[in-house]
Amino acid sequence: MAQFPNEKLILASASPRRRDLLEEIQIDFEIIPAHIWEGRLDGEACEKLAMRLACEKATEIAKRHTNRWVLGADTIVTLPGNPERILGKPESDDEAVSMLLDLSGKEHWVQTGVALVKWSGETGEAKTIVWVEKSRVVFRDLT
C-alpha cells in the first residue's frame, strides 16, 4: 500500500465513495469524520462554499492530530439559475426520486472542494493546499 508522504493520511469524511477512491489508488489512510456546520454563508458562491467546507473539515481534524496530513472534501451539486439551486443529500427515497426527476434531461454542475491540511504541533500553523474540481454534467432524459 502506498504511503502519503511516508505517513498515514487521515480522511476527514465517512463517505464510502471517498474511502473507495483512496483504496483504489492504494493510499494508506484512516477515517476520522469531521463534524462542522455545513451551511452556506450569505452571498457565498458554490465554488467557494465547496472549498471552505473542505478546508474546515480538514482543519478541524488536523488541529486534533497535529503533524499529520488530513484530507477534507465537499461536493456541491447545483442546477443553473439565478440563484443557483443547490441539491443537498436526499433524506428519503421520495426526495431522491424527486431530485432525479429534477435533473432529468438537464445540465447541472458538480463542484468538489478538496483540502489537504497539516497542522504543526510546534508552531501552531498549518500547511494548506485547497482546490476545486468542477464538472458539467448532462443528465439524460428519464422516461
CATH number at residue 36: 3.90.950.10
Query: Taking the model in full, what pTM does it have?
Result: 0.87
The predicted pLDDT at position 5 comes to 59
Q: What is the pLDDT of residue 4?
A: 54
- Tell me which residues of the chain have a pLDDT lower than 70: 1-6, 82
The whole-angstrom separation of Cα 112 and Cα 140 is 22
What SS3 class is residue 1? coil
143 within domain boundaries: no
Q: How many independent structural domains does the chain possess?
A: 1
Q: Which residues are known to be catalytic?
A: 74
What is the reported pLDDT for 121?
85
Are 47 and 55 spatial neighbours (Cβ–Cβ below 8 Å)? no
| CA–CA separation, 24 and 125 (whole Å) | 31
Which residues, listed in sequence order, are joined to residue 136 by a DSSP beta bridge?
109
Q: How confident is the model at residue 83, as a pLDDT? A: 75
Residue 83 belongs to domain spanning = 9-138
Predicted pLDDT of residue 82 = 67
Asked if residue 26 belongs to a domain, the reply is yes
Q: What is the pLDDT of residue 20?
A: 95
The answer as to whether 4 is a domain residue is: no
CA distance 26 to 141: 36
The three three-digit cell numbers of residue 9, written as one number: 493520511
Strand pairing report for 69-79 and 9-11: parallel
